[in-house]
Amino acid sequence: MRLLVGRLLVTALLFAGWIAYLGYLVATRPLTPDGRSLVLSRSQLLVSDLDVVAQVDDPGLPVKVEEVLYPPEEEQKLKGQVLKVINLDDCHPLPLPAQPQGPGEPPDWTGPGRYLLPLRHSAEAKDAYEVAPTPPTAGYPPRGVQGLLGPPRIYPATNQALAQYHQVSKPH
């Protein structure tokens, strides 16, 4: 009998520890300035041709490159340059399936500041870039969403976002 009570206590302590750890992860998760969870799309970063940290003052204006993250050989050529990015207005998350259809998700651009931009050369405009769309992965985009690709996404260039970015192994 004592052995069974001991096993029950050990199991209860392990369960309580696990729940406490999950609560800690939720409480300390990185957030965007508007309070959403900050999770970079690894698949989007893997298909982008050029990843930069840029000052974005307005989605309709060119951006100023502050740092080139990938490819490293473009650092000297592009640092400090102004790039035209044609689809910054289209960058937003998909709505959660449980949410009622409303005015849509808020844009990723929350105001002037530094953003991590996964870019590719634009097919529409010469000498311009576009934010790479989020490619399909298992379960994304969810059923009921039109199109095979998710929307393009940009991310605030916080320390947490850059730490997530550096965990992605891009092909060289």
Higher pLDDT, 143 or 132: 132
DSSP 8-state symbol, 95? P
Task: Read off the pTM.
Answer: 0.80
Q: How far is CA 1 from the centre of its chain?
A: 53
Asked whether the beta carbons of 144 and 101 are under 8 A apart, the reply is no
Residues 39 and 52 in one domain: yes
**Do 14 and 65 sit in the same domain of this protein?**
no
Give whole-number Cα distances, 87 to 39, 71, 117, 155, 158, in Å. Answer: 20, 21, 11, 14, 22
In a domain, 172, yes or no: no
Say whether both 127 and 57 belong to one domain.
yes
User: Model confidence over 86-112: pLDDT tens digits?
Assistant: 999 999 887 766 655 555 678 889 999
Q: Do both 26 and 64 map to the same domain?
A: no
137-170, pLDDT tens digit by residue? 877 777 766 667 888 999 999 999 999 999 998 8
Supply the mean pLDDT for the chain: 88
How far is Cα 62 from Cα 128, in angstroms, rounded to an integer? 10
Q: Which two tokens stand for residue 142?
A: 């969810």
171: in domain: no
Give the number of domains in the chain: 2
Largest CA distance in the chain: 78
Q: Residue 157 falls within a domain, yes or no?
A: yes
**Is 6 domain-assigned?**
yes
Note whether 118 and 37 are same-domain residues.
yes
Which structural domain, as residue segments, surrounds residue 68?
A: 33-95+105-166
Q: Which of 168, 56, 149, 159 is nearest to 107 (CA)?
A: 56
Q: 59-88 pLDDT, tens per residue?
A: 999 999 999 999 988 888 999 999 999 999
In a domain, 19, yes or no: yes
